[in-house]
Amino acid sequence: MKRKLTAAIGIAGMMVSIAACGGEGDGGSDKGGADAKELTVWLTVDAQNNWPELVKAADDAVKKKHPGLKINHEYYGWPDKNAKLDAVLATDKAPDVVEMGNTEMLGYMVKGAFAPLDQGKFDNSDAWLDGLKASVTYEGKTYGVPYYAGGRVANWRKDIAASVGVKTAPKTYKELTDALDKIQKKQGDKFNAWYQPTRDWYAAMSFVYDAGGAIATESGGQWKASLSSPESLKGLNEFKNVVDKYMHGDKTKDESDRYIVYGQGKSAMIFAAAWEGATAEDPKNDKTGKLKGNLENFVMPGPSGKNMPVFLGGSDLAVPVKSDAQDLAAEWINAFAGSSGQKGLMAKGNLPNNKTDLATLKNDPKTAVPATAAEANWFVPMAPGWGQVEKAQILQTMLQSIGTGKKSVEAAAKEADAAIDKVINTK
């Protein structure tokens, strides 16, 4: 499930009142509220619709320890979530637990909206997936708990691969490109052997990190863009090579309707969120009538010889700094997203928040591909101005310039670095 930072840039004004009462230290403020009689938990409709029994189990576990406790739940949709949260955080009636998309966390942590938590109090925290741990960490402190994750995998049509003599999913990047070359030659120039939207920065940055590059690096508390480093340029050049050779659609598009395009039958492969293949073969989207049972997920091999590092999307749980029941809120989070909760979430098709549970999924053929793919992962720079980078769509602009040939890889990367450097350290 894709999460984008959509509202963190708009919270600066509302944070004036938050800063006045923020807690210090590593374990919260004087608002522990261990004896509070009421707890308010805000989650998205994903929990309400897909795993309400896990919410109830967490409630029951906490109420057993705190007889008489009342737990209130509110559920919101992703499009309007942050506007609602921003409004309530400006008042004295903040909820005690909130669900955040993992790329949404940073702006709120920078502005002091969430209370620092004691990481050691949460199950499996020493084994949190690296990308998820990064999403809840700012300036050495922990401000949230990873809830669940969704990764990215390669997906292709077995029938088209078989038509050029390839009957098993590729294990190496050379095997992949050799197969794609054969497919492209057979299908012709109007076909996408690999439908890879140019503006899809999640995929493009996987090439960058696979090559040893990075969007930006930190030194002495300051961040500096590094897309024009030799390593990053190597990754960007390979991404351009993919787009030039295999992507014959509109090179100004992003990935938002990729599963729909895939379902139209003019593509042999995508590198996408794990749910996109299954959604493409849904009868509502499959315009070929041939995709059901004919699509295959596999771990995306990287040009480096290792598995391609993937961006981990997902959700985190945080405690607003204005909560009067921070200790109870932390208890509830651990009951919900701790060991027992993770098993329930995995049973619903989610990736867990930690490496220990992830390892168990690798033994099941149904979950081995996304679990293996998620082991190598990356996350956005946890820099104070990252939200401004996303808001300005600097990466998308760079990639479109590269994909359309408007600028060379080197020139586009240098320009993007300059734009990033202007805002990345700005709170």
Give the tens place of pLDDT for each residue, 12-22.
333 333 433 44
Q: What is the structure's pLDDT at 10? A: 39
Q: What is the structure's pLDDT at 57? A: 98
**Which residue ranges of the chain lie beneath pLDDT 50?**
1-29
Q: What is the structure's pLDDT at 366? A: 86
3-state SS track over 95-130: CCEEEEECCCHHHHHHCCCECCECHHHCCCHHHECH
Q: What is the structure's pLDDT at 175? A: 98
Residues whose CB is less than 8 angstroms from the CB of residue 61 and which lie 6 or more positions away in sequence, other chains included = 335
**Distances from the Cα of 160 to the Cα of 157, 168, 173, angstroms:** 6, 12, 18
Q: What is the structure's pLDDT at 36? A: 84
Q: What is the structure's pLDDT at 16? A: 35
Q: What is the structure's pLDDT at 43? A: 98
| Count of alpha carbons within 13 angstroms of residue 377, beta-carbon side | 30
Give the pair of three-digit tokens for residue 93: 């009636």
Q: What is the structure's pLDDT at 30? A: 52
Q: What is the structure's pLDDT at 239? A: 98
Element counts in the chain: helices (H) and strands (E): 19, 14
Q: What is the structure's pLDDT at 32? A: 67
Q: What is the structure's pLDDT at 104? A: 92
Contact 421, 220 (CB under 8 A): no
Q: What is the structure's pLDDT at 27? A: 44
Q: What share of the chain is helix, strand, coil (3-state, %, to 5)?
A: 45, 15, 40
What single-letter amino acid sits at 1? M
pLDDT tens digit string along 336-355?
A: 999 999 999 999 989 999 99
Q: What is the structure's pLDDT at 296? A: 96
Alpha helices in 136-249 (DSSP H): 158-162, 173-187, 201-210, 230-246
